[in-house]
Structure 1
């Protein structure tokens, strides 16, 4: 039995996710970021997280060169940040949107949580690469609501 790709994508869309911008700045690249909703925790000890990158992403080569990345969990008032870095060929971080974190990685300002990570492992995931990162620095806001994505559109907790 073969799955219809559109039906599968729609089924996956029923799972509400947070929205993140993954940022990095490997040698030879200006700080950049891309919007994703494919983030998950992996382990508490060691502190590991993962996200998935399409093999045909215009950011693929830059993330391949990166020794680290930051997972920035966006707040509900950061819709403009999400939209900006979701655009094809528009991934250079805008000055004012980010700061340089303790690890030297770019961190999105005012994110709910930012996890600066060293690349722990990369895995083949079909049409994606799964990047696992070891969290080495963490910053969080004590309050705020997350920006969510569900059924192909943004959502908020009420």
Structure 2
């Protein structure tokens, strides 16, 4: 527990001023069904070894399925893929209804038309307050199209606009 008292609503409001990218982390569960979660906390961590990270909430029902798989795919969403994000945030068996994907050589769901995919082996999971800090060792990565990424800012999805 923290020694500092910060109002959770103020914390969220202030931190929502910082836009984040939007990714869908996927894996196959023990029954070979796709499991996935939308994350806005994805980041590159290390070049040697190649590591990436994200922070799932400890209350997530999807994270234990992905963790048990031992590997995952980070699908970087394009600004035109809000429907996929909304589908994957659904609970239960409806999560991947209407979401097109293929299964990679690493047995991971890769979402169709994601602007990039990063396939990883689970490297470590560290407790971080009410979240986990997950590190993945990159096994394969590729940019699949050169479109604008989806961004999340102040509770809304959006896209990138260049300043001219």
Corresponding residue SS for 1:42: strand
Specify whether residues 90 and 40 from structure 1 end up closer, same or farther in structure 2 by C-alpha distance, changes over 3 A only.
farther
Inter-partner Cα distance in structure 1 for 2:102 and 2:136: 20
Establish whether residue 144 from structure 1 lines up as the match of residue 131 from structure 2: no
Residue 27 of structure 1, CA deviation: 2.9
> What is the RMSD of the two structures over their aligned residues, measured on CA atoms?
1.7
Q: Which runs of 4+ in 1 moved over 6 A?
A: none
2:123 touches 2:137 (CA, 8 Å); kept in 1? yes
Gaps of 5+ in 1: none
Gaps of 5+ in 2: none
1:33 touches 1:91 (CA, 8 Å); kept in 2? no
2:87 touches 2:97 (CA, 8 Å); kept in 1? no
TM-score (norm 2): 0.89
TM-score (norm 1): 0.92
1:29 touches 1:62 (CA, 8 Å); kept in 2? no
Inter-partner Cα distance in structure 2 for 1:80 and 1:90: 16
2:103 touches 2:110 (CA, 8 Å); kept in 1? yes
Inter-partner Cα distance in structure 1 for 2:117 and 2:26: 10
